[in-house]
Amino acid sequence: MAHTTKKTLLEAIRSGDEVSWQEFYETYRPLIVVRGRDYKLNVAEIDELVQSVMLRFFDRSKTFVYDRSRGKFRNYLGVMIYHCALNIIRQRRRNQVDCESVELEAEDPGRWNDEWQQHILMLALNQLKLQLEDSTFQAFELYALKGGSAENVAKFLNIPVGMVYVAKSRALAKLRTIVKKLREEE
């Protein structure tokens, strides 16, 4: 899947591009699922949350124009997920408690930011994998991400130990650039 900037992706969605919708879904579904778990939703409710968020965004996408001066896209998406989850919980508890007293236990802005940063890192790693040769990414992954020793990684990949260090250095430099770009696109 080719990476598209959020602004470009959002514009393509607004124009009705189905490929962009699929990219948007594949990009943000995992984040919505994590938030659903944070809100203690069951599996069916998490599926409903994903569907509700996507449907709400689809409905609004026709008129939605991303304006960075009004805030970050992640905040917009986070609020949308929150409200959709709240509606699901209200629906579940309709006969048990007064709907106005329902609060989401997991609403922790710090946790949302942590999850967003993890999401950015996963997107960046996926892009990095596409930009590096397989052996370079494997060396980086085994050494830097999974904590293997340089000697063991070199032996496993049948490369010199120095190549493991070079792979890590190159990968980290590219990863920093990708993360910076993704953060700027927020």
Which tens digits make up the pLDDT trace of 41-72? Answer: 888 899 999 999 988 888 877 777 767 777 78
**Do residue 20 and residue 60 come from a single domain?**
yes
- CATH number, domain at 9? 1.10.1740.10
Structural domain contains residue 114: no
Over residues 91-125, the pLDDT tens digits come to 877 645 544 444 555 556 677 788 888 888 888 89
**Do residue 177 and residue 143 come from a single domain?**
yes
Q: In angstroms, rounded to a whole number, what is the distance separating the alpha carbons of residues 177 and 128?
A: 10
Chain mean position to CA 5: 13
Helix then strand then coil, % of the chain, to nearest 5:
75, 0, 25
Please report which confidence band the pLDDT of residue 29 belongs to, taking 50, 70 and 90 as the band edges. very high
Q: How many Cα atoms occupy the beta-carbon half-sphere of 141 within 13 Å?
A: 14
| Domains identified in the chain, total number | 2
pLDDT above 60: residue 8: yes
What pTM did the predictor assign?
A: 0.57
Structural domain contains residue 95: yes
Instruction: Find, among 111, 125, 134, 89, the residue nearest to 38 by Cα.
Output: 111
